[in-house]
Chains A and B, each alone.
Chain A
């Protein structure tokens, strides 16, 4: 066992980790941050996406020991300071960008990473960026719409499906 220290959502945390412990398990079981989900466990589905040093990564395909000293952000760190929903989260609610909600944490983290790089993505760019995030409920349409809306673009012409 080694002690791993990283900053999670602005707070320094330490925990014991075997080298084989995945970042997803460190966050979920060690830190009780269960908003990060494990869906496929084979790095396909993207439910486990978190930000490591500002970049989206699949936390089921990264060792916790590799995040030593890193700045990690999870879905629990996405709300505003006063606890209200962030613009992206609110847009998912307003545009019905989720049904069962299992993929949502990963979707929101991917959306945040996209908008940090590309503040006004078009529909094609959003769909391409979400290639690694799988949703089994929505058919993606309202997720794309929510991200368009969160980036301040007019979505009134996009059909509500």
Chain B
């Protein structure tokens, strides 16, 4: 790892100030950024740790019923504290990485990184969640802009994520056991206004909504509603772990399992 300066502000405002430096990079739990820096694939001049900002941690319920999660909240805390409100989301958080990773990794860090195989982007998109930053609010549908790319500006910090709580939901993760990321993951969330289905790990464009399945499941929330649908292998990731056709096939299988398991 190359040398860098380190800052640990205790307020969002101070962190925003520190991140105005072009060479500065925000540090969440570091579970992706530190290994990346150790491989010298990233070399920020300054790391601005967000772990000292108490107002960015914790889980609460908004007046409109939405589940609010501070951007600096660890996966382990979400797994525990969201379980009674949004079990589909808590179950997803409980299977990210491994226990030690979940104790450090944060929801804001995961979303800002937008790894094409990460779990949280799938939950945010399936829930139509709103990303709150230090300067604005971004709808989930506008946030993810492709592999490792988001609508965040330089130095913009995810301070909170607000999830509308669905009537029923489930996340199915077909795990890639060496990395513990999703080979493919599908989240299904049923709201009064319709069903949303998001897919991670499959597309070269990163997380996406499977709109045909959303229509079918909004009419009939049963795995059988998916039987005539197929997902094209065009644009799917192909690597040593699975071909494009295999991933496309998994999407339908996992979506069906998610509907059956939805609670």
Whether the pair B4, A57 counts as a contact (CB closer than 8 A) is no
B113 within 8 A of A: no
Whether the pair B100, A58 counts as a contact (CB closer than 8 A) is yes
Chain A residues 29 to 80 lying within 8 A of chain B, measured CB to CB, are 41-44, 46, 49, 55-58, 61-63, 65-66, 68
- Please, how many angstroms separate the alpha-carbon atoms of A68 and B103 in the complex? 17
* Residues in A neighbouring B103, C-beta threshold 8 A: 55-57
Whether the pair A132, B101 counts as a contact (CB closer than 8 A) is yes
* Residues in B neighbouring A58, C-beta threshold 8 A: 100-101, 104
Beyond A55-B76, A61-B31, A62-B30, is A18–B99 a contact (Cβ under 8 Å)? Answer: no
* Residues in A neighbouring B37, C-beta threshold 8 A: 20
Beyond A41-B38, A56-B100, A58-B101, is A65–B8 a contact (Cβ under 8 Å)? Answer: yes
Whether the pair B6, A63 counts as a contact (CB closer than 8 A) is yes
Beyond A20-B1, A58-B101, A66-B49, is A43–B35 a contact (Cβ under 8 Å)? Answer: yes
- Please, how many angstroms separate the alpha-carbon atoms of A18 and B51 in the complex? 18
A22 vs chain B, min Cβ distance (A)? 8
Whether the pair B35, A132 counts as a contact (CB closer than 8 A) is no
B38 vs chain A, min Cβ distance (A)? 7
Beyond A61-B30, A61-B31, A61-B35, is A131–B99 a contact (Cβ under 8 Å)? Answer: yes
- Please, how many angstroms separate the alpha-carbon atoms of A42 and B38 in the complex? 8
- Please, how many angstroms separate the alpha-carbon atoms of A61 and B32 in the complex? 9
Number of residues of chain A lying within 8 A (CB) of chain B: 28
- Please, how many angstroms separate the alpha-carbon atoms of A11 and B115 in the complex? 40
B126 within 8 A of A: no
Of all chain B residues, the one with the shortest Cβ separation from A65 is B6
A119 within 8 A of B: no
A151 vs chain B, min Cβ distance (A)? 16
A139 within 8 A of B: no
- Please, how many angstroms separate the alpha-carbon atoms of A133 and B4 in the complex? 30
A110 within 8 A of B: yes
Contact flags (1/0) for B161-192 with A, using CB distance below 8 Å?
Answer: 00000000000000000101000000000000
B150 vs chain A, min Cβ distance (A)? 23
Of all chain A residues, the one with the shortest Cβ separation from B47 is A19
Residues on B lying within 8 angstroms of A by beta carbon are 1-6, 8, 30-31, 34-35, 37-38, 47, 49, 51, 76, 97-101, 103-104, 178, 180
Nearest 5 pairs of A and B residues by beta carbon: A132-B98, A19-B6, A55-B103, A131-B98, A56-B100
Given contacts A43-B34, A66-B30, A66-B49, 7 further A-B contacts (CB under 8 A): A19-B47, A20-B1, A58-B101, A63-B34, A65-B6, A132-B101, A133-B98
Residues on A lying within 8 angstroms of B by beta carbon are 2, 18-20, 22, 41-44, 46, 49, 55-58, 61-63, 65-66, 68, 110, 113-114, 129, 131-133
Q: What are 21 of the A-B contact pairs (CB < 8 Å)?
A: A19-B3, A19-B6, A42-B38, A43-B31, A43-B101, A46-B100, A57-B100, A57-B103, A57-B104, A61-B101, A62-B30, A62-B34, A63-B34, A63-B49, A65-B6, A65-B8, A65-B49, A66-B49, A110-B100, A132-B98, A132-B180
